[in-house]
Amino acid sequence: MKRLAAVLICCGVGYAADGNSFVIEHATIHPVSGADIVNGSVLVKDGKIAAVGTKVAAKGVRVVEGKGLHVYPGMINSATELGLSEISAIRETNDTNELGEFDPQLKAEVAVNPASEHIPVTRANGITAAMTLPSTEGGQGIVTGQAALIHLDGWTWAEMTVMSGAAMEMLFPSLEAPRRSFLAPPGAAGPPFREVKKAYDEKMRRLREFFEEARRYRAAKEGNEAGLKRDLRLEAMIPVLEGKMPVMVVAPREREMKAALDFAKEQKVRMVLAGCRELGKLGPEIKAAGVPVILGPTLATPLEQDMPYDHAYALPEEFHKAGIEIAFGTFDVQFARNLPYEASMAAAFGLPKDEALKSVTLNAAKIWGVADRMGSIEVGKAADLMVTDGDPLETRTAVLQVYIDGRPVDLNNRHKRLYEEYMKRP
């Protein structure tokens, strides 16, 4: 406790003056990219990691005593609505799920509310960055807009944005019967399969047509075609067609995952599969295609009654065993802070512990193309760090300090404030 207080005091003073330079000493460093370093140091200079190891020369910088503590890279939640949704039941506080089937021009970061109470609540558990998605469950679009990778700290959304257009989100057309409306009388049957199939085929036709249209637009633009009018929707597709921006395709079921794989191959686009709830027989094909997968929520009941009870818990290991690169997302905002427990539940059911940790740090950074900047404790990377008293994938572990770009981040939040306020009530 004494030690804890000392640590808190030294990170609480004067960080602005030292240009985000400091050294954490005598801690166990978990770089994720390599072996753990016992009694090690991490030197941070100007917000970047300058040295890591047991012998780090650090003169003239503030010292953070880390004896008995652990240093990990900050975690990355690969699928959230952070900043876009405040209270899920109140439409006015939600900015996900725009109207329209094809909205590639939408950019998630421009609607991120930096004052959202969810941001400090989430980062207090060691999550320093997140993918925030333009569309989530219940979305009716197909190409729903550009997801942004954001830092969970900053005065404005512009300051928070690590990467605009980190992925083009798609909700892949589904052959699942649509959920029965809550207005429908009890016991009412869903639409017959042939109708669902017809609607699906129609959607797939429009999707192909849209990609084709975008391709023609790109060709016309490259060829400086006379009289070509600028089209913001089609222009937004160009980085996707050029393979510069991955499509993040939400496809929960094997049938849709397979269709998405075929589609990506046919369209020659780079793909990240997301929200997969089963693997089926697709392991070899996903691996061969080099498609990474964002899993979650792991804390879910089986899709079908006849699936094993632990299907969702054991699924990450099924993907990992198949040689597929995985990362986790919570696909929400309310439970975004519980990202590490998605991974540890997977570990309880077979995923190796080190892989579980990677799937919320380095793997995510690789998948989103920022492994040169974050995801592990390596020289040259941004100092997105958390200091803990143990394994961050364990609920009981306390996250004591968080740094984003070397800035000590305030771990106070709405929940702590209310806690302290009401503990004082006589």
Partner 1 sequence: MKRLSAAAVMVLAGVGAARAEVTLIKNATILTVTKGTITKGSILIRDGKIAEVGQSVAAPAEATVIDAAGEYVMPGIIDCHSHIATEAVNEGSVSVSSMVGIPDTLNPEDIYIYDALAGGVTTVNVLHGSANAIGGKTVVIKTRWGKSAEELPFEGALPGIKFALGENPKRQGSPSVFRATNLRYPATRMGVEDTIREAFNEAKIYQAEWNDYRAALARGEHPEPPRRDLKLDPLVEVLEGKRLVHAHCYRADEILMLLKVADDYGFKIRTLQHVLEGYKVAKEIAAHGTGASTFSDWWAYKEEAYDAIPYNAAIMTKKGVVVSLNSDSEELMRHLNDEAAKVMKYGGLSETEALSMITINPAKQLMIEKRVGSIEVGKDADLAIFDGHPLSNYSKVVKTIIDGQVYFDRAKDVAGRAAKEQEKAQLIAKEKERARKESEGQRRARPGAGEQAPKPEVAQ
The single-letter code of the amino acid at 212 is E
- Nearest to partner 1 of 20, 344 (CB atom): 344
By CB under 8 A, tell whether 389 contacts partner 1.
no
Binding segment (CB under 8 A) for partner 1, from list 11-19, 30-38, 191-199, 315-323 = 191-199
CA nearest neighbour of 33 among 322, 274, 381:
381
CA 326, 265, 282 angle in degrees (round to 5)? 45
- Number of residues located near partner 1, criterion CB under 8 A: 48
146 - beta bridge partners? 107, 168
Q: Give the nearest distance from C-beta 310 to partner 1 in angstroms.
A: 7
Beta strand 407-408 pairing with 161-171: unpaired
Q: Give the nearest distance from C-beta 84 to partner 1 in angstroms.
A: 13
- Map the footprint of partner 1 across residues 323-382, applying CB under 8 A: 333-335, 337-338, 341, 344-345, 347-349, 353
- Map the footprint of partner 1 across residues 290-329, applying CB under 8 A: 299-302, 305-306, 308-310, 313
By CB under 8 A, tell whether 33 contacts partner 1.
no
Q: Give the nearest distance from C-beta 86 to partner 1 in angstroms.
A: 7
- Nearest to partner 1 of 59, 396 (CB atom): 396
- 3-state secondary structure string across the chain: CHHHHHHHHHHHCCCCCCCCCEEEEEEEECCCCCCCEEEEEEEEECCEEEEEECCCCCCCCEEEECCCCEEEECEEEEEECCCCECCCCCHHHECCCCCCCECCCCEHHHHCCCCCCHHHHHHCCCEEEEEECCCCCCCCCCEEEEEEEEECCCCCHHHHEEEEEEEEEEECCCCCCCCCCCCCCCCCCCCCHHHHHHHHHHHHHHHHHHHHHHHHHHHHHHCCCCCCCCCHHHHHCHHHHCCCCCEEEECCCHHHHHHHHHHHHHHCCCEEEEEECCCCCCHHHHHHHCCCEEECCCCCCCCCCCCCCCHHHHHHHHHHHCCCCEEECCCECCCHHHHHHHHHHHHHCCCCHHHHHHCCCHHHHHHCCCCCCCCCCCCCCECCEEEECCCCCCCCCCEEEEEECCEECCCCCHHHHHHHHHHCCC
Q: Give the nearest distance from C-beta 88 to partner 1 in angstroms.
A: 5
- Nearest to partner 1 of 102, 331 (CB atom): 331
> CB of 230 within 8 A of CB of 236?
no
Q: Which of 198, 208, 216, 415 binds partner 1 (CB under 8 A)?
A: 415
- Nearest to partner 1 of 41, 122 (CB atom): 122
By CB under 8 A, tell whether 2 contacts partner 1.
no
By CB under 8 A, tell whether 4 contacts partner 1.
no
Q: Give the nearest distance from C-beta 352 to partner 1 in angstroms.
A: 11
Helix 339-348 / helix 311-321 crossing angle, nearest 10 deg? 80
Tell me how far apart the alpha carbons of residues 5 and 222 are, in angstroms, rounded to a whole number: 61
Binding segment (CB under 8 A) for partner 1, from list 64-72, 153-161, 274-282, 409-417 = 409-417
Q: Give the nearest distance from C-beta 292 to partner 1 in angstroms.
A: 24
Binding segment (CB under 8 A) for partner 1, from list 75-83, 225-233, 285-293, 396-404 = 396-404
Binding segment (CB under 8 A) for partner 1, from list 12-20, 103-111, 131-139, 189-197 = 189-197
- Nearest to partner 1 of 265, 321 (CB atom): 321
Contact flags string 151-180 toward partner 1, x per CB under 8 A: ------------------------x-----
- Nearest to partner 1 of 17, 183 (CB atom): 183
- Nearest to partner 1 of 189, 226 (CB atom): 189
By CB under 8 A, tell whether 254 contacts partner 1.
no
- Nearest to partner 1 of 22, 328 (CB atom): 328
By CB under 8 A, tell whether 88 contacts partner 1.
yes
What six digits make up the tokens of 297?
A: 């929520």
- Nearest to partner 1 of 219, 348 (CB atom): 348
| Residues lying near partner 1 in the complex (CB under 8 A) | 86-90, 117-118, 175, 183, 192-194, 299-302, 305-306, 308-310, 313, 333-335, 337-338, 341, 344-345, 347-349, 353, 393-398, 414-416, 418-419, 422-423, 425
